[in-house]
Amino acid sequence: MRLPDTVNIGKNIWKPSIAGSGTVYFVSIDDKGGKRLFSSTYKSGAYQQAQPLSFSAGNTLDVDPEIAPDESFLVFVSAGRLPGNTLDHLFIVARQGEGWGPVLPIRYAGDDKPGFSTDDEPHLGLDQRTVYFSSDRSFSAHYPRTPAEAQEDFKRMDSWGWFGGYANVWSIPLEPYLEQAKAAAKGRS
């Protein structure tokens, strides 16, 4: 069922994520290609007018929100938040009262490798402490390779098909990033 116009605020609404309260978080893409995160609170059986998230001002390309069920934190993807880097990367922000703390990058070994799209579509695991996402990054090979290692490399490349690894699934434990985000949010109080 299509949600009301209070949620569907434009022609391009993507990647909804639903909190335990029923509030829906999503990205809205404007006519000029600007990408911004919004939420629409579910109150008294109806979705309220969508509001932009305070940390998503429209000057970066923020997409793919994934809200914790209790709305204590949000993981999302953005391009343009890291100086000199226009690729998509993962970020986390913790709840601070009725607002949000500072946005922090989720960095991991190999996330600085070049790629086509890089990190996308984060989803929280059942434990709410693991994030799963797709990425075109892959681990670098170390040479020289033994014949057995080379055979395994070829098998892996064959299994990727023509995408060449574009849709690899990754997971990262969130705990260290979540603790940093909560501490940073408290520091803003």
Asked if 93 and 103 touch (Cβ cutoff 8 Å), the reply is yes
What's 12-139+166-187's CATH class?
mainly beta
Asked if 76 and 91 touch (Cβ cutoff 8 Å), the reply is yes
The SS3 call for residue 148 is helix
Please determine, for residue 48, whether its predicted confidence score (pLDDT) is greater than 70: yes
Please determine, for residue 5, whether its predicted confidence score (pLDDT) is greater than 50: yes
pTM of the entire structure? 0.84
Please write the tens of the pLDDT for every residue from 126-176.
Answer: 999 999 998 877 655 567 878 888 777 666 655 544 444 456 788 999 999
